[in-house]
Chains A and B, each alone.
Chain A
């Protein structure tokens, strides 16, 4: 059997941003019918490489070559997405590029046809239907994109690429927004497309799915190719070490001792029913020494629960109880004073003031405390001292306490926030997407800190879209769907499939699962 033909080849691509070398002489070949996973931590250079391939960035050195229909390898002019499209390269970005108020059909056709095109709509529909039949990308073409689920929007994006005769399909973190079941569905489609000759590049930082779907795995680290192996040779441990460049210490979880309920949601409703942020009749308890996971597809009310626990919202009806006492008139400051630690979902936007210093950002929540100010005047020395010890204790990599927070990487911003909220020994911790966008090393650090806080007796609620993370941390699971929270039980008795079904809104009482 001869090797399938090479569809795409990147030759010694180098890209620098100032002093940073984002891609350092990376070469890559993609063959027909192959699914190649591009694996790496954040900042490893995956997205930069794909943006060069697709013409969003211009490489400093190197060539991109794509096989033409005739079989020659033609080099693509740098910096031209149009040329990449014409050569048969299709890209599905992490953030979709769809016109929300148009139908799926029109989104797929958009930009491919002249302004006046009588009768072409019907032709387009016929063609898309046949692509759907071939690929299994089932989707209602006539609904407005705004009304589609995230999974359906992703299918529209893939159809869009296929409709433009893509022979190479690039998917940037395609499973970040999907339930486990939807992700499995996507993998089936990808295998089918590959079997029909499509070359697929699949960008991810999740090991499990990469092993499940790809034929070949290329690992990037710090802008360089760290290794390349076939899926058959690969095992999780080896790949993780390749990604990080050193052996990763696994975070171990010991069972905690669970105490009394500290915080209670009692029949909480908030927002107009059936909107994406509404909560309806939510009741649950957070107990001392326990980590509770809130699993759910994003946009099912998690942000509202987080807002309530951050003090940014109050319930329309129902009660929040702290130590059995109803909390009235909550505000961020009151919650901080009551011993809440809050890690915001969007740490760059809500967590830090980028143009203020590390020291100021560490002090920001309790700048009015007697420790940090007196008679309205700041105690800069105390702020400085606190910042220095926080930087040391939490390993915040920064030029110093006076460095502006915007210069910190995402992982270090999160460590700064941990230092700010955990140093006060909080009793209740809200960790909203605590490791989103962090590399494996920083993830382990954040997990260790959260577990340590639990062992000290704090009640923790972790909200995350990453089920692996939730299983690594949680003692007990809650699942949120359409604003309703169901108790899923202790983590030990659960598996991903059960959680997945609950996330999709099927209750486990009506749909018993095989044990």
Chain B
């Protein structure tokens, strides 16, 4: 008997969903090993995690609150990766979006809420988008590698933000904490349910996912992005403006990451600080990969990852196991999904070897 691989012609939708699901479960199984090593019962630990993430209205709200920026950064990564534009800079774009929101929404413009919120969202989208358009242009003009540029820009942006919140943007009323002046009340996102942290940013994320899904399936732009991503030479030959399409992708991708920053400032914190994002930009890459770059899938993947983090916090409080476990689950799910992608492309078959 020998094992052989046959390429698949087509992977049906249920199989793709199944692979993501099995990958998630496999990751949980693998993480059970260190949980046992730490002296806890993995079933109990996972039960506590699930309760911590979904067990009450409060827990659910915390999970969705955590998922909100992940949906947006996940979409940012998904739309770019579909076009083979490797945006690793969502973290920096998120901070730029947050910065733009604070600049526009902290009293510099006196606008009523129906205008102030669109204004900070537009400013955040454009600021984040610009942070990705520039690397995309550098790539087109000079062949500069966007992975390196976007990755390194993250650090540049964060240092720049630190400089601003220690200097010109520093809130004089914050008792010395390095944080910016706050957004005016008109520019804040309302809570979805009183006394729960869940806010309108979630709706923004869901709407963005729907729009993106529509764009991918139904629009000329989605068609052109797909062509450019899958075969640049054929797209160019067929008359699709490859460079312009790439810049649009860059703007959308960076813009979505920028919106994640707006949402965190306007919906959660109210001001800009250097700890606004615990790596939402990087986690967005994991979200997009788990989702197989699907916009709707990104929403589900973002909720899964948020649940792991929120659940791990409460499990950690109950069992004493470190909440680093969450990182382990997320990292292993990504690895499992990558392995699963192999099974989407190939079919394994046992074959008896005939002797000649």
Contacts and interface: CB of A to CB of B under 8 A. Distances in A.
B356 A63 contact: yes
Given A61-B354, A354-B231, A312 B237 contact: yes
Interface stretch (B16-24, B134-142, B238-246): B238-246
Contacts of B237: 310, 312, 332, 342, 344, 350-351
A201 B144 CA distance: 49
A349 B233 CA distance: 7
Contacts of A18: 6
B195 interface: no
A350 B176 CA distance: 60
Contacts of A336: 239
Interface string A318-338: 000000000000011111100
A332 B236 contact: yes
Which of A332, A335, A342, A368 neighbours the largest number of chain B CB atoms within 10 Å of its CB? A332
Interface string A365-389: 1011000010011101000000000
Interface stretch (B67-75, B215-223, B259-267, B324-332): B215-223
A61 B223 CA distance: 46
Contact of B220 (A63, A350, A373, A404): A373
Contact of A354 (B10, B230, B235): B230
Contact of A349 (B9, B226, B234): B234
A13 to B, nearest CB: 10
A355 interface: yes
A364 B6 contact: no
Interface residues of A, number: 38
A368 B220 contact: yes
Interface residues of B, number: 25
Contacts, number: 80
Interface of A is mostly: mixed
B239 A353 contact: no
B224 interface: yes
B227 interface: yes
Contacts of B240: 333, 364
A48 interface: no
A377 B218 CA distance: 6
A29 interface: no
A190 B151 CA distance: 59
Nearest to A374: B220
Contact of B238 (A332, A334, A354, A377): A332
B116 to A, nearest CB: 29
A369 B340 CA distance: 40
A251 interface: no
Contacts of A360: 223, 226-227
Contacts of A452: none
A21 interface: no
A378 B230 contact: no
Contact of A364 (B218, B227, B241, B354): B227
Nearest to B356: A61
Interface of B: 6, 9-10, 218-224, 226-227, 230-231, 233-241, 354, 356
Given A312-B236, A349-B231, A365-B239, 11 more contacts: A63-B356, A310-B237, A333-B241, A350-B237, A351-B234, A353-B234, A354-B230, A364-B227, A364-B238, A378-B219, A407-B9
28 contacts: A59-B356, A61-B354, A62-B356, A311-B239, A331-B239, A332-B236, A332-B238, A332-B239, A335-B239, A336-B239, A344-B237, A349-B231, A349-B234, A350-B234, A351-B234, A352-B234, A353-B231, A356-B226, A356-B227, A360-B226, A360-B227, A364-B223, A364-B234, A364-B240, A365-B238, A367-B223, A377-B219, A378-B223
